[in-house]
Amino acid sequence: MSRITTLDVFEKEYREGLGQPLTPKPWREVTPEWLRRHGDGSGDFNPLYRDPVYARDGRYHQLVGSPSFVFSMNFGANASIWGHIPPADVAMKDLSILYLGADIEWYRPVWVGDRVRSIETPVDVTPTTMRQLGEALICSGRTEYFNHRAEPVARVTNRMLRFVNPGKGVQASDTGDKPRVAPDPLVWERTRRGAQPRYWDDVQVGEELPELPKGTYTTTELYLFTYGSLSTNRARYVDAGTIDMGAGGRADPEYARANRSQATSFDYGPQRIAWLTQVVSDWMGDHGDLVRLSSQLRRPNLIGDTNTVYAQVSRVLDADEFGGEVEIEAAVVNQDEVSTATATAVVRLPRPGALPDHSVLFAPEKSAEPGLYG
């Protein structure tokens, strides 16, 4: 068909594919190297996800994926960006996009050795009006993640804004003369709860989580997430206005302004969602479970912004004899003290005496002895 240049036509074509799954991507095997690359890209150096020696003596007795690893398994955005519309039929210089956030549910860990696959399905399209962009569409796509035992691992519902491209950047932050902070050392300095259990009984409403400084967002941080966490794939098509489609073209400031309506180069939304999950997982420790998280991206994170993640316990929910749930409000705040992303997370924590004792089961092996009962 001819190229789609209006929201009405895009909505009509997108709506026709609602509820129909996209062809799944190939199965992939989870390896320690893959987990490590995602940690490098998201800036999460929790040893539970990257240190085999630490993990061996921990809760799972081997490496597992972090909560945000679902985005490395599959960003899951194709269903919300295009649905079943061929990407070549829609040019960013005509109809651009902006990531709005995601709702995530986790069901079980991703283990080293698992083979994983996901199924994307466009599920909704809703007309809306935005203050700076005018008429737009909110397109929602559901991604369901499975392991090779056909067990559900997680479900992510992404929301993408589709709008007529105004041809210029419409968002900006004032970095001015405010201090810049190198992001790399921060990942090494981070203190985490780790193996010490955090019990549901000890949590109080209003408790503040240790803040998570992420430093000044640089092009290196953008590329680390792009190629460490997402994909090293090269672009098959190059949009007009750039020769560099690295990071989806967003690393090119002029392209970001002309085709993506941003003031300069900007991040992937899931990078900040990874930060929002990290501030929670660092606090809950190895024995907590992140059950679900609903996030909203309120404005872009631009190259040059300096970010810190803050969080606080907002509710203590019901518990049984084994554990209970806690609700947490979190936000990514930039140098202007503007919240660029917010989230509500629910964590399940154990109760005293409820943790299994695996000390005998995972004790060092004894030497084999000859004989029938050796």
Residue 51: enclosing H or E segment and its boundaries? Answer: none
Instruction: Report the distance separating Cα 317 and Cα 30, nearest Å.
Output: 34
Q: What's the CA gap between 9 and 85, in Å, rounded?
A: 11
> What is the residue range of 210's domain?
7-350
* Angle at alpha carbon of residue 340, lines to 38 and 231, rounded to 5°: 25
Residue 48 lies in a domain: yes
Burial of 303 (0-12, 13-18, 19+ CB in 10 A): buried
Side-chain half-sphere exposure of 229, counting CA atoms within 13 A? 32
CB contact at 8 A, 258 and 167: yes
d(CA 183, CA 306): 9
Per-residue pLDDT of the chain (374 residues; tens, 9 = 90+): 589 999 999 999 999 999 999 999 999 999 999 999 999 999 999 999 999 999 999 999 999 999 999 999 999 999 999 999 999 999 999 999 999 999 999 999 999 999 999 999 999 999 999 988 899 999 999 999 999 999 999 999 999 999 999 988 876 666 667 899 999 999 999 999 999 999 999 999 999 999 999 999 999 999 999 999 999 988 888 888 889 888 989 999 999 999 999 999 999 999 999 999 999 999 999 999 999 999 999 999 999 999 999 999 999 999 999 999 999 999 999 999 999 999 999 999 999 999 988 878 888 877 777 777 66
2 in any annotated domain = no
State whether residue 207 is helix, strand or coil. coil
Q: How far apart are the first and last CA of the chain?
A: 72
**Upper half-sphere CA count for residue 241 (Cβ side, 13 Å):** 20
Q: Is residue 182 part of a domain?
A: yes
- CA 343 to centroid of chain Cα atoms: 12
Q: Which of 144, 65, 47 is nearest to 109 (CA)?
A: 65
Domain contains 361: no
User: At residue 303, what is the residue type?
Assistant: I
Question: Nearest CA to 201 among 357, 356, 353, 358?
Answer: 353
According to the 3-state scheme, what is the secondary structure of 236-277? CCCCCCCCCCHHHHCCCHHHHHHHHCCCCCECCHHHHHHHHH
Number of domains in the chain: 1
Q: Does some domain include residue 128?
A: yes
| CATH code, 299 | 3.10.129.10
